[in-house]
Structure 1
Amino acid sequence: MRNVLITGGAGFIGSNLALKLVESGSNVTVLDNLSPQIHGDNPELSPLYRSILGKVKFIKGTVESRQDWNDALVGIDTVVHLAAETGTGQSMYQIKKYSDVNIGGSAILLDLMANEPHNISKMVIASSRSIYGEGKYLCKQHGIVYPNARSAEDMKLADFNVKCPVCSVSVELLATDEESKIHPSSIYGVTKQVQEQMFMITGQSLGIPTVSLRFQNVYGAGQSLSNPYTGILSIFSTRIKNGNDINIFEDGLESRDFIYIDDVVESIMLSIFKDEANYQIFNVGSGVCTDVLTVAETLKNVYQSNSSVSISGNYRVGDIRHNFADLTLIRSKVGFEPKIDFLNGIKKFTTWVNKQEIQKDLYEASIQEMKSKGLYK
């Protein structure tokens, strides 16, 4: 039996993980600040928070507080660090906040590990595919390349393709493996890169088995429907449920690797309980890329909606074009295999959405905020 602390444990991934760990016989402590952006204006009424009430030891606090960390770590042997600021777009203008929470919060934990008595024997850190930037591509002339962020000049001309950094010719997308170049294109990605490196270095130096999981786009029943900054499935669903039209950035062919929440939880469970995961860095995704236009049209059809889907050609500074995970390493080391494909995941997700109260659509306000910062073009 393990005594597990989950930071951000009242969030989407954290609450699902907490319930799975309790079911497996573990004792779970949750440290969470119940952010209104995730939990709504009345966080204590949040379904995610209420799903874990009475089943875990809950501490309302922040990873920015050393005292909250000390309180949460009492009797703990395993830490799963999920708490983070996550919106790519927001990160480009809330730079100090993202740095303070994602890097500063991690630094406090690791400083405690290095300087004070503890019983921690395992740490799992939630990293992100955003640290890869554009990821791995094939140039017909130059072979494997890792393109830089797309140029503003090309984007203004509606040329959204990824180019070879050597010859500037459009390149072919490949699955991104863990040995791929790390070069994030957003502040969020930078903070996750630093966070991951801090955990892996500290874990190695102190002899604490540490695992980093580079999540692709996580979705599923239970995710926030009121957060306009992260999760295009929830953003699109809330637009549709409010009878609003869907605006798709770029040309609609930008793609992501969508992985269902149950598979993500399984990857964390394997990381906690399998020694083969120790000191490893794993991609966690479905291994399949799906373009955003397909996502929008699929949701519209499932909801039987009359909302129109338009491709605007607008774009956000810091967004990548494509990325999908090579899962070879996590399959070979711990036997992880995603079980829920995109279509089945969409069915599960939309069935759940249809049972929820319709949330206020804050999308337009989020776009205006990005426009005011010069980050929405």
Structure 2
Amino acid sequence: MILVTGGAGFIGSHIVSAFTSTGHEVRVLDALLPAAHRTPPPVPDGVDWRHADVRDRGAVADALRGVDAVCHQAAMVGLGKDFADAPDYVGCNDLGTAVLLAGMAAAGVHRLVLASSMVVYGEGRYECARHGVVRPGPRRTVDLEAGRFEPPCPHCGEPLAAGPVGEEAPADPRNVYATTKLAQEHLAASWARATGGRAAALRYHNVYGPGMPRDTPYAGVASLFRSALARGEAPQVFEDGGQRRDFVHVRDVAGANLTAMDGLSALPEGVLRAYNVGSGEPHTVGEMASALAAAHGGDAPVVTGEYRLGDVRHITASSRRLCDELGWKPVVGFAEGMAEFAKAALRAG
């Protein structure tokens, strides 16, 4: 049996469907936090449902009985309003993960697939013509106010060329949420070393697709654009629309979890292995907004020049490791996925 924490959420529910459709027995543990779930989700047929918080030691111990592996999706996501939200993020993400891992150690459960994120990298991979691969620092408010959105070389100030980031890139989390996701990876790595467990950390890039929440802190930029179109409004694109991302369909993310779970036995004992999960088709945020608007039949996007401190300019994935080592392959292309999403109903949470 596989325990899926956060299995009632946007990504988690697709993962549960992927596991059950391939014959896995599934148990779900989900706290149904109001920020993520404004309406109770339906309970899938054949799934053992547990309404409890992953920080509840007793509930976790009970949920782990008879379990062979864990797929840990439960987390608080988003940038938050300000730093005052830090205790909530650390509590949900890091304390919750620590309680789960301690319960797994006590129960003798040795296989884990962890939902991580591209945000652990900070900015993506950049090269300077003079200085080679460099790591630009956080963008300055004065530059953003002036519409200078591209990060310069930290050594000479010249323009940089952006490229896909690999798993060996140094971590550089730029906000509280990103810091908690990296801490989750470190906790899982410590658990693996201490117990001889095997773990895969899947660093999701920008996930979108049917069932994506709207009007909640868990709504991604694709959902915000889709909601605007549904209201008859033009999507509002921040900066100049040129920020580049890897938009990966939720069914491909669910497939990556299934592939990683089946591939854990190939990992050495006591090891956590990180894998990027991206489509391999990077696009700008402006291109994504235009594709949604065209497919929906709505107004063309409006580029506002606004910005959010803490956002990064370019972050795209190299998912070669997951493809080469475990045989995963994304199957939903950008045009197909955006056309489907433009017509899909969003849910309130």
1:173 to partner: Cα distance: 0.3
Contact 1:177/1:283 (<8 A) preserved: yes
Contact 1:212/1:280 (<8 A) preserved: yes
Moved over 4 A (4+): 89-93
Over residues 302-334 of structure 1, what are the superposed CA-to-partner deviations in whole Å (9 max), with x where a residue is unaligned?
A: 11113x522221111110111111122112111
User: CA–CA distance in 2 between the matches of 1:151 and 1:229?
Assistant: 26
TM-score by length of 1: 0.87
User: CA–CA distance in 1 between the matches of 2:164 and 2:170?
Assistant: 12
User: CA–CA distance in 1 between the matches of 2:104 and 2:334?
Assistant: 39
1:350 to partner: Cα distance: 2.2
Aligned Cα root-mean-square deviation (Å): 1.8
- Distance change in 2, residues 1:189/1:91 (3 Å): farther
User: CA–CA distance in 1 between the matches of 2:96 and 2:190?
Assistant: 16
Task: Within 5 Å, give how 1:145-160 maps onto structure 2.
Answer: 145-160=134-149
Q: Secondary structure of 1:280's partner?
A: strand
Matching residue's letter, 1:79: V
Task: Within 5 Å, give how 1:11-26 maps onto structure 2.
Answer: 11-26=9-24
Choose which of 270, 274, 297 in structure 2 pairs with 1:304: 297
User: CA–CA distance in 1 between the matches of 2:231 and 2:290?
Assistant: 16
Structure 2: which 5+ residue stretches go unaligned?
Answer: none
Structure 1: which 5+ residue stretches go unaligned?
Answer: 361-377
Give the aligned partner of residue 199 of structure 1: 188
User: CA–CA distance in 2 between the matches of 1:328 and 1:91?
Assistant: 36
Give the aligned partner of residue 161 of structure 1: 150
Task: Within 5 Å, give how 1:164-179 maps onto structure 2.
Answer: 164-179=153-168
Choose which of 281, 288, 308 in structure 1 pairs with 2:281: 288
Q: Secondary structure of 1:5's partner?
A: strand
Contact 1:86/1:230 (<8 A) preserved: no
Matching residue's letter, 2:256: S
User: CA–CA distance in 1 between the matches of 2:206 and 2:233?
Assistant: 24
Give the share of equivalent positions with the same residue, in percent: 32
Give the aligned partner of residue 368 of structure 1: none
User: CA–CA distance in 1 between the matches of 2:330 and 2:15?
Assistant: 16
The alignment status of 1:325 with 2:307, answered yes or no, reads no
TM-score by length of 2: 0.94
Q: Secondary structure of 1:126's partner?
A: strand
Give the aligned partner of residue 39 of structure 1: 37
Choose which of 219, 236, 239 in structure 2 pairs with 1:230: 219
Give the aligned partner of residue 126 of structure 1: 115
- Distance change in 2, residues 1:78/1:90 (3 Å): farther
Q: Secondary structure of 1:185's partner?
A: coil
**How many residues matched?**
345
Q: Secondary structure of 1:37's partner?
A: coil
Choose which of 5, 8, 15 in structure 1 pairs with 2:6: 8
